[in-house]
């Protein structure tokens, strides 16, 4: 057992601040264990969101020493022995209290993506998918909706005014997933650009860097979606069709 110095955000977004605690740490523990120990000892009213403690529910997202991470996957053994550890709520979303944010922005954006649209005459069991198409989408389906990618993306992290126009990497990835589905009939290229703010993404790849599921958000979803949008914009037949009102 050792003692470590923790700085933890307490209070709301505007009126909150960091509080310092000296906490016991045991072998094999993760940051979430330490937050639970704080709740059990020094600050029983500390607000922390969590559920599975296994990296699968996406609830325990916070920023640890400024980096968006799952607290249940942040091993204490990975910090330097003398390093103090700062835990703050995700910066991009309004703080409710302590480490708990209001992430409803993400649910609102999720609702804006048109759902899967198979052909009207498609009957259950009709459709067969090539393994390559299944594999491509399965990567995106690993998403645990932790919203760390949404938190880190500078387009909304530093620019509250962009939130209305930008869906964020998680939901642009959802648009890409559906756009790549061979049975989906909706065309999401125009709305991805014009309504979901795909053009705001300048492929910094910070979203990919923080994804706990190691989804290649930028390379496998956002860039292919950008390429499809460019194909649409620069295809002369599509361009002519849009001018005469056919597309």
Which residue number, 88 or 150, has a Cβ lying nearer to ligand SF4? 150
For 180, residues 6+ apart whose C-beta sits below 8 A from its C-beta are 133, 136, 137, 224
Residue whose C-alpha is closest to residue 25's, from 14, 13, 37: 37
Residue indicated by tokens 């999401």: 188
State how far Cα 150 lies from the chain centre: 4
Which residue number, 98 or 151, has a Cβ lying nearer to ligand F3S? 151
Residues contributing to the site for ligand FES (CB under 6 A):
50-53, 55-60, 70, 72
Select from ligand SF4, ligand FES, ligand F3S, none the partner in contact with residue 145, using the beta carbon and a kind-dependent cut-off of 5 to 8 Å.
ligand SF4
Minimum CB separation from ligand F3S for residue 105, in Å? 15
Which residue number, 89 or 168, has a Cβ lying nearer to ligand F3S? 168
Minimum CB separation from ligand FES for residue 46, in Å? 15
Q: Which of residues 103-162 bind ligand SF4 (CB under 6 A)?
A: 143-149
Pairing of strands 17-25, 95-97: unpaired
Select from ligand F3S, ligand FES, ligand SF4, none the partner in contact with residue 56, using the beta carbon and a kind-dependent cut-off of 5 to 8 Å.
ligand FES
- In angstroms, the Cα distances linking 202 to 76, 134, 192, 197, 217 are 34, 28, 14, 11, 13
């Amino acid at each position: 057992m050792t003692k470590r110095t923790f700085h933890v955000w307490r209070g709301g977004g505007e009126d909150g601040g960091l509080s310092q605690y000296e906490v016991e740490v045991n072998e094999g523990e993760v940051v979430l264990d330490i937050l639970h120990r704080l709740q059990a000892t020094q600050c029983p009213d500390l607000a922390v969101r969590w559920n599975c403690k296994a990296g699968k529910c996406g609830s325990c997202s916070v920023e640890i020493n400024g980096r968006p991470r799952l607290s249940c996957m942040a091993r204490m053994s990975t910090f330097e022995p003398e390093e103090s550890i700062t835990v703050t709520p995700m910066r991009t979303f309004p703080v409710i209290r302590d480490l708990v944010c209001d992430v409803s922005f993400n649910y609102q954006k999720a609702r804006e993506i048109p759902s899967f649209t198979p052909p009207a005459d498609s009957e259950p069991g009709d459709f067969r998918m090539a393994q390559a198409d299944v594999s491509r989408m399965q990567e995106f389906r690993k998403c645990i909706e932790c919203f760390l990618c949404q938190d880190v993306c500078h387009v909304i992290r530093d620019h509250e005014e962009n939130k209305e126009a930008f869906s964020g990497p998680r939901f642009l990835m959802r648009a890409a997933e559906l756009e790549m589905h061979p049975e989906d009939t909706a065309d999401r290229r125009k709305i991805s650009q014009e309504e979901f703010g795909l053009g705001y993404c300048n492929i910094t790849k910070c979203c990919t860097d923080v994804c706990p599921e190691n989804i290649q958000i930028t390379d496998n979803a956002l860039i292919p979606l950008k390429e499809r949008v460019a194909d649409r914009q620069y295809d002369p037949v599509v361009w002519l069709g849009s001018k005469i009102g056919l597309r």
